[in-house]
Structure 1
Amino acid sequence: MSELAMLGGPRIVPRNRRIPRWPDLAPEDEEAVRRVVASGRYTAAAAGEKEIAGLERDWAEEVGTRHCVAVSNGTTALSLALAAAGVGPGDEVIVPALSFIATAITPLHLSAVPVFADVDPVTFNVAPKAVEAAVTPRTRAIVVVHLHGLPADLDELAATAGRHGLALVEDAAQAHGARYRGRAVGSYGDIGTFSLNVSKNLPTCGEGGLVTTDDDDLHRRVGMMRQFGEMLGGGGPRSYVSHVLGWNDKPNAVQCAFTRSRLGRFREENRIRDENVRHFLGRLGELPWLRGPEAPDDRTHAWHILRFMTDPEPFGLGPAHTGPVRAAVMKALRAEGVPATHYQLMPLPGQRVFRRPPIATEDHYRASDWPNTLEVIDGSFTIQKAHLSPKARPMLDLYADAATKVWENRDAIAREAREMDYRPPWQEAEEIAEQELPT
Structure 2
Amino acid sequence: MSAAPAGAPGADRLAALGGTPAVARRLRAAHWPVVTDLDRRAVLDVLDGQALVSDTNGETAVSRLEDRWARFCEVPECVAVSNGTTALATALAALGIGPGDEVVVPSLSFVATALAPLHQMAVPVFADVDPVHFTLDPASVAEQITERTAAILPVHLHGRPADMDALGDLARTHGLAVVEDAAQAHGALWRGRRTGALGDAAAFSLQVTKNLPTCGEGGLITFADPATAAQARRIRQFGEDIDPGRERRYLSHRLGWNHKMNAVQAAFTLSQLDRFADYEAARQSQVTRFLDRIGELPGVLVPTAPAGGSHAWHILRLRFDPAAAGLPGSAAAGYRKALHRLLRAEGVPVSRYQLRSLPRQAAIADRVGFGAGYPWAAATAAEPAPRTAVADAIIEDSLTLQKRHLAPDAGPALDAYADGFAKVFRNLDVVARMALA
Alignment of 1:327-342 (within 5 A): 327-342=337-352
Root-mean-square deviation over aligned CA pairs: 1.9
Unaligned runs of 5+ in 1: 420-439
Which of 418, 421, 427 does residue 400 from structure 1 map onto? Answer: 418
- Residue 435 (structure 2) pairs with residue 417 (structure 1): yes
1:41 partnered with 2:59: no
Q: Name stretches of at least 5 consecutive residues in structure 2 with no aligned partner.
A: 1-10, 377-381
Q: Distance in 1 between matches of 2:385 and 2:419?
A: 36
Q: In the alignment, which residue of structure 1 is the partner of 2:267? A: 257
Q: Is the 8 A contact 1:23 1:198 kept in 2?
A: yes
Where do 1:325-364 residues align within 5 Å?
A: 325-359=335-369, 360=373
Which amino acid in 1 is paired with 2:291? L
Contact 1:315 1:414 in 2 (8 A): no
Counterpart pick for 1:79 among 86, 89, 98: 89
Counterpart of 2:396 in structure 1 is 378
Aligned match of 2:288? 278
1:191 to 201, 204, 217: 201
Alpha-carbon offset, residue 22 of structure 1:
0.7
Q: TM (normalized to structure 1)?
A: 0.92
Aligned CA distance change for structure 1 residues 113 and 4 (closer, same or farther; 3 Å): same
After superposing the two structures, state which structure 1 stretch, 295-304 or 100-109, moved more: 295-304
Aligned to 2:379: none
Greater alpha carbon shift after TM alignment, 378-387 vs 11-20: 11-20
The reply on whether 1:90 has 2:88 as its aligned counterpart is no
Deviation digits for residues 160-199 of structure 1, max 9, x if unmatched?
1111111000000000000100100010100111000000
- Structure 1 residues 396-429: Cα deviation after superposition (integer angstroms, max 9, x where no partner): 011000000001111000110112xxxxxxxxxx
- % identity of equivalent residues: 50
Residues 20 and 391 in structure 1, CA contact (< 8 A), matched pair in contact too: no
Residues 362-410 of structure 1: per-residue CA shift (max 9 Å, x gap) = 9x99999511111111111000000000000000011000000001111
- Mapped to 2, the partners of 1:373 and 1:101 lie a distance apart of 14
SS of the aligned residue for 1:39 comes to coil
Q: Where does residue 66 of structure 1 map in the other structure?
A: 76
- Give the AA of the match of 2:34: D
Change (3 A) 1:287 1:32: same
In the TM superposition, residue 35 of structure 1 has moved relative to its aligned partner by: 0.6
What SS does structure 2 have at the residue aligned with 1:82? helix
The answer as to whether partners of 2:57 and 2:244 remain within 8 angstroms in 1 is no
> Contact conserved, 1:4 with 1:406, CA < 8 A, in 2?
yes
| TM-aligned CA deviation for residue 317 of structure 1 | 2.3
- Do the aligned residues in 2 keep the contact of 1:349 with 1:365 (CA within 8 Å)? no
Q: Distance between the aligned counterparts of 2:325 and 2:436, measured in 1?
A: 11
Query: What SS class does the counterpart of residue 340 from structure 1 fall into?
Result: coil
Counterpart Cα distance in 2 of 1:407 and 1:119: 28
Equivalent in 209, 219, 236 of residue 226 of structure 1: 236
**Distance change >3 Å, CA 133–CA 28, structure 1 → 2:** same
Partner AA of 1:255 in structure 2 = Q
1: CA distance, partners of 2:249 / 2:344: 57
4+ runs deviating over 4 angstroms: 364-369
Correspondences of 1:20-39 after superposition (within 5 Å): 20-39=30-49
- Find the aligned partners of 2:173 and 2:74 in 1 and give their Cα distance: 25
Offset of 1:66 from its aligned partner?
Answer: 0.8
Are positions 1:178 and 2:196 aligned together?
Answer: no
- Aligned residue for 1:337, secondary structure, equals coil
Contact 2:330 2:436 in 1 (8 A): no
- The structure that is helix-richer by fraction is 1
